[in-house]
């Protein structure tokens, strides 16, 4: 899979690309992640990428030209183009699974003060990572990329994500490690019983109970 990210702040991605599972996936050729500076696609002699809004108002608006040029340059017949914006569709694990099967994704990081409406016509999908406003689409693009890359075949042990929260619309069950007793808190005895069927049942019940307590909306939707 190739992920091309269009941003005004390429430096923000340095740590993200050189750490942990993302780095391992890149080194293992499971994914290629290219960061493109939108400014490089500006035709303006000062490399301007934004300007005042027609009709007035505060703030600068990202111009369409550099984004359209970048997309023209990178797009193929198999490309999915995502625009990161708080006005997008709320992002869910199901979408991460869908996207993890694609060959090529372009992610456009929105600008904190807005982007020209015509940029929307490029996108197959507009995504919001939550009902709050960030200074730009860079962190949201990393959230989406991280959630996709960990699901690509061979990046992490499949068993690790088979039991993720939100699969089957349930939150994850509680897990414990050593020591058995820590500051008066003990590991539930069932987990030491060695009885796999009972452990499986207990874990499922814990998932359901936890989801009912914390995220009833996941169970009761529709």
User: In terms of CB distance, is 66 or 136 closer to ligand ADE?
Assistant: 136
Alpha helices in the chain (DSSP H): 14-17, 20-27, 64-74, 93-99, 138-149, 158-162, 196-214, 216-220
Q: How far apart are CA 191 and CA 200, in angstroms?
A: 10
Q: Which of 43, 101, 133, 175 binds ligand ADE (CB under 6 A)?
A: 133
Q: Mask of contacts with ligand ADE, 24-63, x by CB under 6 A?
A: ----------------------------------------
Contact 175, 199 (CB under 8 A): no
Q: Is 118 a catalytic residue?
A: no
H or E segment at 151? none
Window 93-112: residues binding ligand ADE (CB under 6 A): 110
In the block, which residue shows the tokens 């111009």?
A: 63
Q: Is 86 in the site for ligand ADE (CB under 6 A)?
A: yes
- Minimum CB–partner distance for residue 137 and ligand ADE (Å): 5
Q: How far apart are CA 107 and CA 138, in angstroms?
A: 9
Q: Is 158 a catalytic residue?
A: no
User: In terms of CB distance, is 59 or 174 closer to ligand ADE?
Assistant: 59
Distance of alpha carbon 156 from its chain centroid, rounded? 16
Q: Which of 42, 67, 81, 85 binds ligand ADE (CB under 6 A)?
A: 85
Q: Is 216 a catalytic residue?
A: no
Window 110-129: residues binding ligand ADE (CB under 6 A): 110, 128-129
Q: How far apart are CA 137 and CA 135, in angstroms?
A: 7
Active centre residues (catalytic): 86, 113, 150, 164
């Amino acid at each position: 899979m190739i992920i091309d990210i269009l941003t005004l702040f390429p430096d923000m991605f340095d740590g993200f690309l050189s750490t942990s599972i993302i780095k391992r996936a890149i080194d293992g050729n499971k994914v290629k992640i290219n960061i493109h500076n939108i400014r490089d696609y500006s035709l303006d002699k000062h490399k301007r990428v934004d300007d005042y809004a027609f009709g007035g108002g505060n703030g600068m608006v990202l111009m369409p030209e550099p984004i359209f040029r970048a997309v023209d340059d990178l797009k193929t017949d198999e490309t999915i183009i995502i625009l990161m914006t708080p006005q997008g569709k709320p992002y869910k694990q199901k979408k991460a699974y869908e996207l993890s099967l694609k060959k090529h994704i372009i992610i456009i990081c929105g600008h904190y003060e807005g982007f020209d409406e015509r940029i929307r016509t490029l996108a197959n999908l507009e995504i919001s990572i939550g009902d709050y406003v960030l200074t730009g689409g860079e962190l949201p693009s990393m959230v989406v990329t991280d959630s996709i890359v960990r699901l690509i075949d061979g990046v992490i042990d499949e068993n690790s994500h088979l039991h993720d929260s939100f699969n089957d619309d349930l939150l994850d069950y509680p897990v414990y490690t050593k020591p058995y007793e820590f500051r008066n808190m003990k590991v539930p005895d069932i987990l030491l019983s060695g009885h796999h069927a009972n452990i499986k049942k207990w874990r499922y019940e814990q998932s359901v109970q936890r989801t009912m307590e914390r995220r009833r909306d996941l169970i009761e939707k529709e």
